[in-house]
Structure 1
Amino acid sequence: MAIIHGDFSGHKEKPKKNGKEKDNKPAPLYQLHVSLTFSDPLIWRRILVPGEITLHQLHQVLQLCMGWSGTHKHQFYVGKIFYDMDPGKNDNGRYHEADYDLQTLEEAMKWCFIYLYDAGDGWEHEIALEESVAPQLGQKYPVVVDGEYAAPPEDVGGVHGYTEFLSLMENSEDKARRRIMEEWNLSDFDPFHFDCRKINDELKEYLWIK
């Protein structure tokens, strides 16, 4: 699992809580590049998100960007600390993701920012903080601004399972392909299709006006 992006030896510093030690400056607007690790060709999204959203809200945004259901467990690895939705894990270097917003984790995000979804399939996303950008007047956030390729069907078996699935799709006469497409209702699935407008329509529920 490719999650080490720096030297994290030494003392673990507890992150600051959401709303603690903030100044009066407006929250930043972050440009994030989200890529599905080991996908080939690379499946990625570029999104703009306000700095005041929590990691849990970012989880919801990422699920919409990938077209997934959010029914499986997930966690974030930011800097050198794990965050998830289990309030009973606030020891051993794990913290509740709803308590921390992005602007309080900005420095840690620059070192390492990983989103892990569904331990069984092992969907790992590498998130790169590309830059802080100026919000456009009248624009609502979060918003997807770019990306490539459709996200894999959620329970296809991870990146390796998706590779096998794509191989089956290439043979329209293959019985296994027809069975899978029928069972999963994927007759219209196009692995090359990325619908930015559709994703942004679905993101409207999570908008913040900047």
Structure 2
Amino acid sequence: MIYEFRVAVRDIGLPIWRDIQVDSEETFYDFNGIIQAAFSWSGFFEHRFEITRSGGTDLLPVIIEETPLDTLEDYTDESDFREYSDEEREDVDEIEADDYDFYDENDSAENEDQTLQKYFTAIDDAATYIYFTDAVIEVDIQLTEMVAPQEDRRYPTCVAAENAGPDEMEDRSTILQNRNNLILADTEDLIRLINFALSQLGDSDIFDSGYEDFGSEYAVDTYWDDVESDDAEDSPPNF
């Protein structure tokens, strides 16, 4: 099953949203990457999801977030063991002794283990995505459609969008002061650029080489200045 979500940045003073189609079996870990790519963010800051409506019923927020394992997993590898202090190793041993149980399972869950279809089961089910930048960016998520997958379409995909995402490195006052710079008239090119970013998820080359310039300034498009233009499917659009 394919879910279509309206994903909209809250409280910027102008509409900034994406309609994204996603496989219902994706995890919240994957969904985080999709949201980051759709708004041209880097994933540098921590995040969490708060499920506010599931199965057609409003809920006290169910929190789904990164666990400390996301930051500690690299030194649980025995090959890296000597790179860490005894104190850090004790932290890892304690985690393992507790079977990685950091959260009360009644009100929180790890984003790698939870699929979208567990919580999004009815149209209008909703959540909030919180990205803990200096501005603390909040994104409203609403399930708007549930459709059968199309054989000729690659998922995730953006089917509609409006305006550029706010710069994750700016504080709220700066974002609000410069919000008119986020207004874009050409939504078709915006959608093409978002879909290019979505198509590159898992490809370290694009995100490691110049993702900061890819940034929120779709209209300026500094990152693609040095990219040769061609008609290949995986080529970014030109502005």
TM-score tier, shorter chain, comes to 0.5 to 0.7
| 2:112 aligned counterpart, secondary structure | helix
Q: Deviations over 1:152-188 (max 9, x none)?
A: 1111113x43111247x6xxxxxxxxxxxxxxxxxxx
Q: Distance in 2 between matches of 1:67 and 1:122?
A: 16
Structure 1 counterpart of 2:65: 84
Aligned residue type for 1:83: I
Q: Distance in 2 between matches of 1:93 and 1:119?
A: 24
Q: Deviations over 1:49-81 (max 9, x none)?
A: 000100010000000000010010000001331
Percent identity over paired residues:
27
Unmatched segments (≥5 aa) in structure 1: 1-27, 170-189
Matched, 1:73 2:54: no
* 2:6 counterpart (3, 26, 33): 33
Q: Is the 8 A contact 2:120 2:126 kept in 1?
A: no
Q: Distance in 2 between matches of 1:86 and 1:131?
A: 30
* 2:15 counterpart (42, 46, 57): 42
Check 1:108–1:122 CA distance in 2 against 1; reply closer, same or farther (3 A cut): farther
Structure 2 counterpart of 1:135: 149
* 2:30 counterpart (37, 52, 57): 57
| 2:21 aligned counterpart, secondary structure | strand
Q: Is the 8 A contact 1:151 1:191 kept in 2?
A: no
Q: Deviations over 1:24-60 (max 9, x none)?
A: xxxx100100110112211000000000100010000
The two structures have a TM-score, normalised by structure 1, of 0.68
Structure 1 counterpart of 2:129: 115
Q: Which has the higher helix share?
A: 2
Aligned residue type for 1:99: D
Check 1:43–1:121 CA distance in 2 against 1; reply closer, same or farther (3 A cut): same
Structure 1 counterpart of 2:198: 203
Matches of residues 141-160 of structure 1 in structure 2 within 5 Å?
Answer: 141-158=155-172, 160=173
Unmatched segments (≥5 aa) in structure 2: 53-60, 69-100, 203-239
Q: Is the 8 A contact 1:142 1:206 kept in 2?
A: no
- Deviation of residue 96 (structure 1)? 0.5
Aligned residue type for 2:12: S
Aligned residue type for 2:64: Y
Q: Is the 8 A contact 1:75 1:115 kept in 2?
A: yes
Check 1:82–1:46 CA distance in 2 against 1; reply closer, same or farther (3 A cut): same
The two structures have a TM-score, normalised by structure 2, of 0.60
Matched, 1:192 2:151: no
CA RMSD in angstroms comes to: 2.3
- Deviation of residue 191 (structure 1)? 3.6
Check 1:204–1:101 CA distance in 2 against 1; reply closer, same or farther (3 A cut): same
Q: Distance in 1 between matches of 2:27 and 2:162?
A: 26
Instruction: Say how many residue pairs are matched.
Output: 158
Aligned residue type for 2:184: F
